[in-house]
Amino acid sequence: MRSRHLKSRLLAVLLAVGAALGVSLSAAPPAGAASLTRITAFGHNPTNLQMYVYVPNGVKPHPAILLALHGCQGSGPYMYSSTDFAGLADRYGFIVVYPSTSPGGSCWDVSSDQALTRNGGSDPVGLMSMITYTEQHYGGNPGAVYVTGESSGGMMTNVMLADYPDVFKAGAAFMGVPYHCFHTGTVRGWNGACAGGQVSMTAQQWGDLARRADPGYNGPHPRVQLWHGTADPILNHRDLGEETKQWTNVLGVGQTPSSTDTPAANWNRSRYADRSGKTQVETYSIVGAGHQLPIQGTPMTADAVHFMGLDGSSTAPGTRQPHHG
């Protein structure tokens, strides 16, 4: 009963946030903008996901790819119309892939054994097919692939970073939980203990779980940015600390921040840098914010795009090796 109650609360909050923002799935794109395109056949798709792609009119040659994942009760078109990623794609020339779950409005599968294993099946396999399709049909750069998401999509961001560490250069998870925290062994299961912030492990334990998602991989791991509101009633703010432990361990940086600051009112930012000074993990704890990130009218999405380097702020994408296995 408790898990059903938590899920219903999550859906209600998300619907209320959408209504408060005045966003509808049919919201018109800005004048002169490119349009969202449905792709109906994009490769192996075991869970019948839907693929939408946004290619800006000013797309760069060999463009970067951003996979943008909606939350429960959302969709690809909703993620497109309710966030600023498409507008940022217009500005910086990258492609955005907006998937939808099936059945429509469902959460992502971040709980089954299949989903938590590289090439194991379920939603991550279909998402990878979308990335490969975008590389092959739109000239997307395999060395500049990124992922972001909110709520259930933030959880799936963590899953994709663990399952396919060679595919993604960086990721930004809004209101997520650590990889494997939501495990139930069932497809689209609800883990009330994880949602309530009651699952705690050591950094080493969390890191070992993430590494086991793709045990044959020994290369570099993607940089990670994490966002959470302190007043989140659906996915507890304590999950931010658990995510931080996981990714600092995976990326080999210390548990103590290299720097902390407040870039905006009520935004507490911590950075965890490697020995060269490059930030590997960045966290934002938003004081008083509920289950509503990224908040429109703030630079949250722009900050995520900046962290990932999609605005050209980082060094040019390298010649990463083709995806293994």
Catalytic residues: 151
CA distances 61 to 56, 57, 141, 145, 323, Å, are: 12, 12, 9, 14, 21
Q: Which two tokens stand for residue 71?
A: 């939350």
DSSP 183-238: --SSTT---HHHHTT-----HHHHHHHHHHTSTT--S---EEEEEEETT-SSS-TH
Query: What distances in angstroms separate CA 30 from CA 33, 36, 84, 87, 204, one per listed residue?
Result: 5, 12, 11, 8, 46
What is the number of other CB atoms lying within 10 angstroms of the CB of residue 57?
10
Kindly state the tokens that stand for 132. 């490969």
CA dihedral 74, 80, 83, 84 (to 10 degrees): 170
